[in-house]
Structure formats: structure tokens, C-alpha cells
Structure 1
Amino acid sequence: MPRISNIMRAKSKIELFFDLAPNNIYTIYELTTIFNTNNKKWDLSYSMSFTKFLDFLLEKSYLEEIDLGLKTLYGWKIATHGTDSLYEIAIKLKPRSYISHYSAMFLNNMTEQIPKTIYVTYDRENKLVNHTKKLEQSKIDLAFSEKKKPKEVIYTFGGYRFVLINSTSNERIGIKNMELPSGVVIPVTNIERTLIDIVVRPELSGGIQEVIKAYQSVDTVQIAKIQTYLRKKAYVYPFEQSIGFCLEYAGIDPEKVNSLLAACKLEYNFYLDRAMKKPKFSSRWKLYYPNYL
């Protein structure tokens, strides 16, 4: 009768460990840590290396390799968790990351669309100090006369795209934890932070028409939060003018809209989108916006 190996004897304990774990997606570093922490508890032999342990889980158990091209992750029973696994994959692409833009719109019930692209932002470890000189109207006009060139890193898996966005801040402003149906908890931008992000980068949010629909989907907005986030993010451009316009267009409480307007300096004419053809102009917000609105 063939001898049963130590790892085969421990198979049920190992599988129970992963079944009860709070997450289902792992980096190679996380799996190595799990092995080093538990190998004695599982009575694995001294000859059992991490490589053998990993191969065993891939071949004999429920661990799957997730090949993203430039990066490899590992998933535990990912087929049973459906799209929840995709969001967990996204936040494992980079430390200090969170779901944002169009994906945050979806998770916050701000769109009826089900995007096949998952947007994830990661904060810099050190805040980027802004040394930009004073704005000039001519420079704003030039910058928004052209489409923004994409610089994001893109991964693909299972018919989905993962777009990795670099944030200039390191303060994790406006991030909340959201529990998915699988029980996994992921960080997602809250409603106010999402309203800011999608105006700053509408091309990552389904376009201006989807942005407007997202604003119209919101029942209430905390203007104080938006103002606090804008102050902390310290954008070069006056995005508060775009946000105020969208809030007003969406029919948000006029008193709240007026409080935001009162805080706007309105030093420059600004743009709701880039490369617009024959845009309209709002003198109230000093903002150019698409002629279809």
C-alpha cells in the first residue's frame, strides 16, 4: 500500500484554512508567508519547499494561477465567487489601491451599466509636491483642446480589462470599505470622492454623458466633503467649477450648489471635457460644456 505523504494528510486542514480566510486572491509573497507561518502547524515535512507546496495546491487542490501578462496572482475557488474575484484581483495589482471611477460608479449604484473594465487607483507612497506655476488661461485652453493621452497600465484576464491609475496623493481621501456578496471587503471611493474623480477623468468614467447620469443618480451630496477632498487633493485646475455645473445640471439642492459656487474663485474659464466641438458656455460657472447638454 503506497505511503500517504504529509501534505496529503494535511490537505483538509490546508483547504479549511483557505476556505475561512478573509480573501480569495493572493500574491506570491502572501502565499509564501502563509506557508512559512503554517508549515509546522500542518506537520509538513522538512523537505517540503514552498515551490512544492504551491505546485500541490495548483495540481491537487483549488488554487488557480491568474496570468495577467505582466503580473501573476493566485485565486482560491475563484469560479465560486463570480465577479467579486475580479475586484479583489484589481486591488492586488498594487499596494494602497482602491476601486475608482467607472467601477466605483457601478459599486455605488451610480450607473446602470456593467463595465467590462475595472478601474483601480493606487496612491503614491510619498505625496507629489506641486511646484506648478500660476495658471494662465492660454495654457488651460491649450491643455483642454486635445484628448488626454493615456498613461495607465492595463492588465487583462477572463475577458476583463484592469486599468491601473496613479494618484498624486497619499492620503487615501474619501475611501470606504465595501463588503461584496462573497464576504470579501474591498476599498472603494465613496460617493463624494467618486463625483470628483469622474469629473477629473471622464474618459475613465464612461464619458461626460455617463458622468451626468451618475450625478443625477445621487439623492443627496455632502458639499462639505467635496470641498474638503478638493482642498486636500489640491488640483491645479479649478475642477470645482465642473463639479458645481454637474450638480446644478443634475438638479441637486440649489442651496448646496450655491454654497459651492460661493467658494469658487472663478478666475479662469474652464472645460467640462477635452477636445469639445462647438461647446456651449455657462457664464455662471465660467465653464465650456458639450453642446448636447
Structure 2
Amino acid sequence: MAGKSRFVIAEARIRAFFKQSSRKAFSKTQLASIFEEQRTNWNLAQSTTSEKFIDQLLKKEVLYLTEVIFDGYVKSKKLYTTEDVSVFQVATSLISKSYLSHYSAVWLNNLTNQVPKTVYITFEQSKRPLADRTLTQAAIDAAFARPQRRTGASARYKEYTFLVLNGAYSNRLGVHTMDTVPVTNMERTLIDITVRPNYAGGVSSVLESYRNALGKISVNKLVATLDSLNFIYPYHQAVGFYLERAGYSGKKLEELRARPKEFDFYLTYEIEEKDYSPQWRLYFPKGL
């Protein structure tokens, strides 16, 4: 009878390693690094390669192979996951330095009871020199008469849809970690869904998120985050409108209200029937 393989002898320790790891989804490169770092501790045979090691992990069901097929500019990915991996851990393992945003962050920050089936994954562009930031009323009117720009990369994973968003560089402003998953905090999330309301169910859903954030957020932090993001468009008008409609009051809201408002602005794209707030110089959907 052949003796036990060294992998089998070390199997309990290998299982414990992956069970105790905060990471639940791995690329082949990451597993190869773990193999090199731990092979001595696990006393694996010199003839064992990282490929053979990964094969054993799958054969013994320590990990499971998951393939995510993307449409668009993102390449399809293979991940090796633990049995208890969450959809959000899979999502943020697909692209380096990515984080969850928009409606995914709304849900993770407990700003909605609706369980989203679309997972929004943001990765940031490289830092670039500031482009021409000249703004005109005609340019604003033309931009918001068109549909909101949509992402060009998506994938199906179980009952979920992954959407990959190529965000502007912010040095991950407002990104923190919740249950091992990088996600935007409440203040950054509210700003992101103000900018792209269709990634959060539309303006009514955005307003609901502001209402649910009442008493949970720092308006000072919200405004500081908005200012740091340095948008060309006057999103302070939209943020102030949402805050007021959601029932906020206080000095910071008054400061927003007092800020110069050089242009009429829009709460969302392609508004068919408009109302207008003179106070915020803002068009918004009738009935909101």
C-alpha cells in the first residue's frame, strides 16, 4: 500500500489556513505565492509545483473554481474561492484595487432594505492633469438632455449581475472595509448616487437613501468629501436639494444654500416632466 502523500498529511493545516484567511477568493498568482510561502511549513514535496498544489486544492474541495465571463473591455477571470465566499468578496477580487459603490454600497451601509441583484464594482483611473473646466449653461443643458452614461463591462455570477465602473481618480476617498470588503462609506455613497442616480434605482431611491441616512451621517463630512472630489458640475446644488427634501437642517445646509449658483442644474438625466427649485436652481422630476 502506498504511503500518504505529503499534501494529505498536511491537509488539515492547509484547510485551516484557508478557513482562517480573511481573503475568500484568490487568483492563480495569489495561490502560487501562498504555495511558495507555506510549502516548507506544510512540508510539501520538492516535486510539487504550484499547479499541482492548486489541482489538489480543487480535488480535495478546499477551494472551488469560479469563472466569471465579462462582456465588454474587462477580461474574463478565474477565481479560486472558499465555500463560504460572499458575492461581494468575489466581486472585489475580480479587479485589483476595486471597491463596491453606488447601490451595492447603499445596501452594505444599511441605507435600503432592497437586496440588490446588481453589484457595482468601481476601479479608478490614473491621476490625470485637469482638463479644461470651462462650464456653460448650454453645455450643461446638452449633457443632461442625453441618457446617463452607462458602463461598458458586465458579467453574470449566479443570480447577480456585476457592473464594472471606471471611476475618476479620487485616491479611494471615502473607501473603508466592511467584513473584508472595500466599499464606499455613507457620505461618499450618497455623493456617488447623486452623480449617477441610475446606478441606485433612480432619484426616488436616492432620496430614500438620504432619508435613511438621517442621523447616521456627518453633513460636515459629506460636504468635505464633495469638495474634495472637485466636480466640474455644481453637484452641491443637487446634494443640498436632497438634504433639504430628506429633512436635514443645520448650519452646513445653510452654508450649501448660500454658495454661489451660477447655473441651472439637473437632478438627473433626460427628465421628461420637470419641476424647478429656484432656491437650488435645480430641475427635478415632477412629483418627486
Alignment TM-score, normalising by the size of structure 1: 0.92
Residue 107 of structure 1 and its aligned partner are, at CA, apart by 1.0
In 1: Cα distance, 2:239 partner to 2:192 partner: 10
2:194–2:238 CA contact under 8 A, matched in 1: yes
Percent identical among aligned pairs is 35
Aligned pair partner of 2:242 in 242, 246, 256: 246
Match of 1:167? 167
Q: Is the 8 A contact 1:223 1:260 kept in 2?
A: no
User: Residues 3-42 of structure 1: matches in 2 within 5 Å?
Assistant: 3-42=3-42
Q: Which residue of 2 aligns with 1:72?
A: 78
Q: CA deviation at 1:222?
A: 2.1
Query: 1:278 maps to which residue?
Result: 273
Question: Counterpart amino acid of 2:114?
Answer: Q
Tell me if structure 2 keeps the 8 A contact 1:154–1:161.
yes
Query: What amino acid does structure 2 have at the position aligned with 1:278?
Result: E
Equivalent residue, structure 2, for 1:196: 191
Gaps of 5+ in 2: 70-75
CA distance in 2, matches of 1:100, 1:286: 28
Alignment match, 2:178: 178
Q: How does 1:254-269 map to 2 (within 5 A)?
A: 254-262=250-258, 264-269=259-264
For residues 273 and 22 of structure 1, the distance between their equivalents in structure 2, rounded to whole angstroms, comes to: 39
Measured after TM superposition, the shift of residue 254 of structure 1 is 4.5
Q: What is the aligned partner in structure 2 of residue 96 from structure 1?
A: 97
Q: Which runs of 4+ in 1 moved over 4 A?
A: none
Between the two proteins, the alignment pairs up a number of residues equal to: 281
CA contact (8 A) 1:154 1:164 kept: yes
1:248–1:254 contact (8 Å) kept in structure 2: no
Q: Provide the rounded CA distance (Å) in 1 between the counterparts of 2:170 and 2:203.
A: 27
Shift of the 187–248 alpha-carbon distance from structure 1 to 2, 3 Å rule, reads same
Distance in 2, Cα, partners of 1:96 & 1:23: 14
TM-score for both structures, normalised by structure 2: 0.93
Q: Give the deviation of 1:170 after TM superposition.
A: 3.8
Aligned pairs (5 A) from 1:53-72: 53-69=53-69, 70-72=76-78
Distance 1:174 1:292 in 2: 32
Does the 8 A contact of 1:106 with 1:114 survive in 2? yes
1:130 positional shift? 2.4
* Post-superposition offset of 1:23: 1.7
Kindly state the Cα deviation for residue 117 of structure 1 after the two structures are TM-superposed. 0.9
Counterpart for residue 146 of structure 1: 146
